[in-house]
Amino acid sequence: MPKWKLVTEFSFNSAHYIKDYDGPCGRMHGHNYTVRIEATALKLHSSQYCPHPVMVADFRTLRWAKQDVSKGGLDHCVLNEVLPPEYETTAEMIAKYIYDETKKRLPADVQLKVAVSETPNSWVEYEDD
């Protein structure tokens, strides 16, 4: 059976603080976040931008988070003010938030893995089997 894996990477800049954190991360600070999304499917799909079933997922759809906050993305915002309260602003929860929001934009059979980095040497990955 055929299987496709699409991979895209993008970045956005945002500020945040970790509530009740005893240390520097408890104060407002910023990151140049890097996000890597892997989308896997056994069949190809259309998208809101292309009516033909020729892609796993549209890159534009996967990269929604890199848009300016005024256009529904996460770029140049304070994450604590944009993410719902159930998502604390750790890298782990930011990855889960991006996963959850991206999953809503895709066909149900597309499998996702989201990786988020706050620094060049620290990554977190999230997927829901």
Assign 32 to helix, strand or coil: strand
Task: Give yes or no for residue 115 having a pLDDT over 80.
Answer: yes
Cβ 75 vs Cβ 64: under 8 Å: no
Class of domain 4-119: alpha beta
Determine the residue type at 35: V
Q: Where are the domains of the chain?
A: 4-119
Give residue-wise pLDDT tens across range 61-81: 999 999 999 999 999 999 999
**Whether the predicted model's global pTM rises above the 0.85 cut:** yes
Mean pLDDT calculated for residue range 84-100: 97
Strand order across the beta sheet in which 111-119 lies: 4-16, 29-41, 111-119, 122-126
Give residue-wise pLDDT tens across range 35-60: 999 999 999 999 999 999 999 999 99
Task: Give yes or no for residue 96 having a pLDDT over 80.
Answer: yes
